Amino acid sequence: MNNQDDQLHRLLQHWRDIEPSSNFEAQVWNRIKVGTDRRAVRPPSVADWLRDLLPQPVFTLTAATVAGVMIGLASGLFSVPPGPSTEQLGFLAPHTLAGALQR
């Protein structure tokens, strides 16, 4: 351990302080301003729109209701078996008793 401490001590003795340039603060504020301007020019995305609307309780409740109705309709439509075939409905043909009664 002592060997590593000596190496570290020697390295730290060669350390030079880093001095910022004279216009460092002006450059930082300029970058902040440019970054803010770029963000203002960028068109809002769907994520920005949702982020603005989701904290509002009315929108959140409406969105959850619409999503629930859509999921319910989709699951109802896809879970219904197909209707009976024409062979199964042959007893309703016009020349049968059931077909005559249906007319």
Task: Give the model's pLDDT for residue 34.
Answer: 78
Q: Using 50, 70 and 90 to split pLDDT, how confident is the model at 66?
A: very high
pLDDT digits (tens, 9 = 90+) for 10-63: 888 888 777 888 898 888 888 888 776 655 567 778 888 877 877 778 878 888
Q: Which residues contact 55 (CB under 8 A, 6 or more apart)?
A: none
- Specify the pLDDT at position 71: 96
For the entire predicted model, the pTM comes to: 0.34
Using CA atoms, how far apart are residues 64 and 66, in angstroms rounded to an integer? Answer: 6
DSSP string, 33-49: HHHHHHHHHSPP-HHHH
CB count, 10 Å around CB of 77? Answer: 8
Q: Which amino acid is at 83?
A: G
